[in-house]
Amino acid sequence: MEYKLDFRTYSDALKKNKLLGLKCNDCGTFTCPPKMTCQECAGTDLEIVELSGNGEIVTFTQTFVAPQGRECEAPYTIVMVELDEGPWTMGNLIDIAPDKINMELIGRKVRLGHKVFPGDTYSDGEAARPLFSFQI
């Protein structure tokens, strides 16, 4: 059985600022990041949908100790965003001063952009990830 929406297709779309996910025709749940089956009911009757890319921050961290090869990115902020359609997705937060990163971030409305991680020795090529900024 083939993936309805695989990583490469997801990443290529994200590079055009399109956040693709899956809508379950059995239970209506949206699954994003995509996977083989619905995150709630394990159903496989799924259709590819473009999500709004809007959501709110549910948690975050500001990382100072980066993995090998990514030291120049630190410090950076990782956010988990609950998308308007329901699923949670991880990305980075931009447009914020480092000293403003605190619990007040939780609940802030954000919108989607993207940035490409070019990959390193241990990753199979590049990968786009969501890059969130505040909704105006």
Site residues (vs other proteins, CB under 8 A):
7, 11, 33, 35, 39, 58-71, 73-74, 76, 78, 80, 82, 87-92, 101, 103, 106, 117, 120, 122-123, 127-130
Q: Residue 7 is encoded by which pair of tokens? A: 């990583």
Count of all residues that appear for the chain in the document: 136
Q: Which of residues 32-51 bind Zn ion (CB under 5 A)?
A: 38, 40-41, 43
Q: Rule CB under 5 A: say whether 27 interacts with Zn ion.
A: yes
Residue with tokens 């994003």: 32
Q: Rule CB under 5 A: say whether 25 interacts with Zn ion.
A: no
* DSSP letter assigned to residue 2: -
Q: What's the min distance (Å) between Cβ of 44 and Zn ion?
A: 9
Q: What's the min distance (Å) between Cβ of 18 and Zn ion?
A: 22
> Which partner in Zn ion, other proteins, none is near 135 (CB below 5 to 8 A by kind)?
none
What gap in Å lies between CA 78 and CA 59, rounded to an integer? Answer: 9
Q: What is the DSSP string of 23-77?
A: EETTT--EESS--SS-TTT----EEEEEE---EEEEEEEEE-SPPTT-GGG-SEE
In the complex, the residues that contact Zn ion under the rule CB under 5 A are 24, 26-27, 29, 38, 40-41, 43
